[in-house]
Amino acid sequence: MHTTTMRVSLDGAEIGELADAGGGLFVGSVPVRGAIDNGLHQVTVVAQQGPFEVEDGAGYTVSAPKPGTMAWSEPGPEGSRTNRIALTADGDVLEAGQVEINKVKRPGLRKRSGLKGAELWSVTLDTREGEVADLSVLPDGRVWVAMNVRKPGNLSPQPRIALFDAAGVFTGIEAFGYLGQGVRGIAADAEGGCFAVGFASAGNDLDIGYWRIDGAGTQTLGDHWDYVPIDKEKHSFSELAMDVVIEGDVAWVVGASNGKHENPNLDFFTRGVLVPMDLHTAEVVAPVIVASKSDPYTQSAFFGAGHHPLGVLVTGYGCDDACANYRIETSLYGPTGLRLWHTADMAGAGKRYGSDVVVDSQGRALVSSAVTDKGVLRGYVFAHHVGGEEVFPLFDHWFPPSAAASEALGVLVDAYDRLFVGGYITTNGATQAHLILLHQ
């Protein structure tokens, strides 16, 4: 009753103070993060009042399944596909991609329980043909969605960037790109707005397309950017963006650039790029980062990006001159452009690429990907310690564990490091959205 503060330690390490709930009650919680926490743990509390203190403690045991094993798997309807996933504030999962209605693919959004995977609701986001490329959730539950839609009679799709409420209802806030453009990634910012990226035709080449809507729902940017290295001509390189992460006032745009990167006498090669743009103006605020070659993997591209305390995580592929042989490449780049860490996985013939990457509380990079296996593209999920030197993944999982064609396209972890993976499988010749929960 006379305690003023109560400190807590876990296994001998200080983890902070409990919250004073009044009436002599102090409360708090300790997360249990899967198999990484297996074994006996000791919690010690120290009650303090002035110079006086007293301590007490208790133990608990964690017994979780082996990392990489599946807890549950939930399919979507026939003809559906999940391209990206996001976590809501209440711990549920949003799947964004496509649904099929009367044999027409349309942008779709589905919410599932993060605990059991049960479908909570599913909505069609547009009456036009198309699909969702990416989504980003605001703290209040509203969802920014980047999709590409096609009006009847149009040969080319156009980007649509729209804001929906926590129940998937359109708020009336939206922006469109031009026909022939495409949006691939979107990130919400601290003001409640968003920054979206993709590609735009610039005549003889492609440029990185970008769009910005502020927190008031006003579109402030909608243009394209051309990569022009020193001593190069405009539009001598073709580039496109695949994803974006926001760090403060900088939107880190990741994708690929095709051109003569080293020598004007060499052939055109594709390289992964990171472009740091000002969130509000799209001005490039630091040197563009171009992935270096690593013979024989002379070409590369970045498909997914994730936050990291030291910079930006990216994943994609590396391939040889003819792109006959591929490998999945995942890297960490610091804000100055220095590559701080790199790993290569699943090298071999046929397409192999990382689609999305996220880091968990243990410092592990979790990658969703696809690998050509016996002539079939199959989803694959794996993990590495960022900064570690392990040759093989800490754990891996085929998505699903069958020979059916599939891709693992989105990955996320929650506050307890529970690992969710979204993508699709092929059933009877049709795609089918799939969301799984993996132990780790």
50 and 88, same domain (yes or no): no
34 and 134, same domain (yes or no): no
- For 204-231, write each residue's pLDDT tens digit: 789 999 999 999 999 999 999 998 887 7
User: With contact defined as beta carbons under 8 Å apart, do 212 and 219 qualify?
Assistant: yes
Q: What is the pLDDT of residue 2?
A: 83
pLDDT of 278 higher than 70: yes
128 and 48, same domain (yes or no): no
Q: What is the pLDDT of residue 414?
A: 93
Q: Is the previous residue joined to 276 through a cis bond, with omega within 30 degrees of 0?
A: no
Q: What is the pLDDT of residue 199?
A: 96
Query: Where do we find the tokens 């790199």?
Result: 342
Percent of the chain with pLDDT over 90: 83
Percent of the chain with pLDDT over 70: 99
Instruction: Tell me the average pLDDT of the chain.
Output: 94
Query: Where do we find the tokens 């930006």?
Result: 312
- For 318-361, write each residue's pLDDT tens digit: 999 999 999 999 999 998 899 999 999 999 999 999 999 999 99
| Amino acid, single-letter form, for residue 71 | A
160 and 16, same domain (yes or no): no
User: With contact defined as beta carbons under 8 Å apart, do 370 and 382 qualify?
Assistant: no
Query: Where do we find the tokens 């490449």?
Result: 329
255 and 369, same domain (yes or no): yes
Q: What is the pLDDT of residue 158?
A: 95
Domain end (from 43, 62, 81): 62
CATH number at residue 210: 2.130.10.10
CA-CA-CA-CA dihedral for 215, 218, 224, 229, to nearest 10: -40
47 and 190, same domain (yes or no): no
For residue 223 the two structure tokens come to 């243009």
- For 230-258, write each residue's pLDDT tens digit: 777 787 889 999 999 999 999 999 999 99
Q: What is the pLDDT of residue 295?
A: 87
Count of structural domains within the chain: 2
Instruction: From 187, 224, 227, select the one nearest 209 (Cα to Cα).
Output: 224
25 and 123, same domain (yes or no): no
For residue 134 the two structure tokens come to 């990416």
310 and 351, same domain (yes or no): yes
Q: What is the pLDDT of residue 270?
A: 94
Rounded to whole angstroms, the Cα distance separating 204 from 325 reads 28
Q: What is the pLDDT of residue 264?
A: 62
Helix (H, G, I), strand (E, B) or coil at 36: helix
- Residue 39's domain comprises 5-62
For residue 424 the two structure tokens come to 């699709």
161 and 29, same domain (yes or no): no
Mean pLDDT of 284-311: 95
Query: In which element (H, E) is residue 303 found?
Result: strand 299-308
46 and 175, same domain (yes or no): no
250 and 390, same domain (yes or no): yes
58 and 199, same domain (yes or no): no
User: With contact defined as beta carbons under 8 Å apart, do 85 and 94 qualify?
Assistant: yes
Domain end (from 15, 43, 62): 62
Rounded to whole angstroms, the Cα distance separating 199 from 177 reads 10
For residue 234 the two structure tokens come to 């405009």
| DSSP character at residue 287 | P
pLDDT of 377 higher than 90: yes
